[in-house]
Amino acid sequence: MSDAVAAVLEQWRRECPSLDVSPIGVVGRIMRLSRLWDKEIKDFLAEHGLEPGEFDILSTLRRSGEPYELSAGTFLKASLVTTGAITLRVDRMAAKGMVERVPDANDRRSVKIRLTPEGLETIDRVLPLHLANEARLLDGIDAEQQAGLAATLAAVLEGHGDTSARAAG
């Protein structure tokens, strides 16, 4: 059995045999997986009362280590989304009691975003389930294939300037 992208490739090869349509085999599949997985992850998180952006806030703060807080600027760099989006997400999460804004002890002009005990409990409860869900999404390939795919995708991302140094700011 072949996937939907294979059919697209076959059609393009038939209609435009002089063109190299092989990039569609990679890019088309990545884009298709992105849409499929985005929906699956959104549905999974919704079952736990979270949106993807909210999960991102909780997981970014949790992986920052104790005391599970970041300055607004550091958080913005770590999450790679716009200031407006962060403000809106933090407002929603604060209303849910999962994060709080606290004055920065070293700089009175800025605030830090901190996980509340409820936010910490939520991320610690949902994260293992989320990881199991992501593992389920990869059920079709074994550990060695997963490692190879991860390395290949990392090389593609790095080739587009997406490096840990850049992401860290």
How many structural domains does the chain have? 2
Tell me if 167 is assigned to some domain. no
Would you say residue 102 lies in a domain?
Answer: yes
For the entire predicted model, the pTM comes to 0.84
43 & 60 share domain: no
Q: Is the pLDDT of residue 57 over 70?
A: yes
Pick 108 or 20 by higher pLDDT: 20
Range of weakest confidence among 42-51, 103-112, 141-150 = 103-112
Confidence of residue 107 (pLDDT cuts 50, 70, 90): confident
For residue 137, being part of any structural domain is answered with no
Domain extent at residue 3: 1-47
Q: Among 36-45, 49-58, 76-85, 92-101, which is the least confidently predicted range? A: 76-85
| pLDDT score of 1 | 54
76 and 24 in a single domain? The answer is no
CA-CA distances (angstroms) from residue 111 to 50, 52, 100, 144?
24, 23, 10, 44
Long-range own/partner contacts, residues 64-69 (CB < 8 A, 24 or more apart) = 67/114, 68/114, 68/115, 68/119, 68/120, 69/102, 69/112, 69/113, 69/114, 69/115
Let me know whether 116 and 57 are in one domain. yes
